[in-house]
Amino acid sequence: MSDRPPVAVVGAGRVGGALADRLQRAGHAVTIAARDPASPSVAAALARNPALRVEAPAAAVAGAEVVLLATPFGAVGDALRPLADALAGRLLVDCTNPVGPGVTHGLGGTRSGAEEVRDLAPGAPVVKAFSVYGVENLEDNAFPGAGAPPAMPICGDDPGAKAVVAGMAARLGWRPLDVGGLEQALHLEHMTLLWVRMVRLGGRSPHMVWAVLER
């Protein structure tokens, strides 16, 4: 895989648009996979960064080495089922979260959304990443004077795939934090719920992140 692999982004909402923009500015060729290239979300992504490409989902995935999944979790099945063959051999990054009523885990807290994603794309190594914060930190993760870079936890079962995603995260200014295999994704999804409860419900600044201090 190349140093800055070409990326397809499935889901051009605020999260997908922010990641597409920043990865393109970091040197990746980025294509938005869009069933409707005239949709407001695609228009907003292009207004932010006209260098982004837009293609039909199958074509976008076929031209990518890394695919970012950034749809609402309820749309994951509809997004991935038609792409199952095209995703074979691509690295699939799960940026989604199953959030249920009352900011609970949408799958009952017994199985992660990332494992559901893996089942829908059995030919692709899946890495969970870019999922534990709100979009504000994906747009801007600079914390001058903090003394430590913000952490981006990632997990997955393929060490090579995790290394690629770690490199992408580092290029965007994160400290990649490998927390283990894909079974850890459930804990990352609960970590997201904690962030949402603290920020969206508890009134903390949305520019709140985790960091790692070691000695």
At 12, the pLDDT band (50, 70, 90 cuts) reads very high
- With tokens 């079962």, the residue in question is 157
> What confidence tier does 2 reach under pLDDT thresholds 50, 70, 90?
confident
Q: Hunting for tokens 């995703």 — which residue is that? A: 87
Is the CATH number 1.20.1370.10 carried by domain 7-201? no
Q: How far is CA 104 from CA 97, 98, 101, 124, 191, in A?
A: 11, 9, 6, 28, 11
Q: Are strands 126-128 and 151-156 parallel, antiparallel or unpaired?
A: antiparallel
**Rounded CA gap, 139 and 19, in Å?**
7
Is there a contact between 114 and 136 (Cβ–Cβ < 8 Å)? Answer: no
| Spatial CB neighbours of 123, under 8 Å, sequence gap ≥ 6 | 84, 85, 87, 88, 89
What is the average pLDDT score of the chain?
Answer: 97
Mean pLDDT computed over 143-161: 96
Look at residue 1 and tell me whether its pLDDT is greater than 90.
no
Task: Give dist(CA 26, CA 131) in Å, integer.
Answer: 19
- 160 in helix, strand or coil? helix
- Residue written as tokens 């089942």? 119
Cα separation, 32 vs 64, in Å, equals 10
Q: Is the CB of residue 82 less than 8 Å from the CB of residue 54?
A: no
Please choose, from the candidates 128, 203, 207, the residue with its C-alpha nearest in 3D space to the C-alpha of residue 161. Answer: 128
Domain definitions of the chain by residue range: 7-201
pLDDT of 81-138, one tens digit each?
999 999 999 999 999 999 999 999 999 999 999 999 999 999 999 999 999 999 999 9
CB atoms within 10 A of CB 86: 23
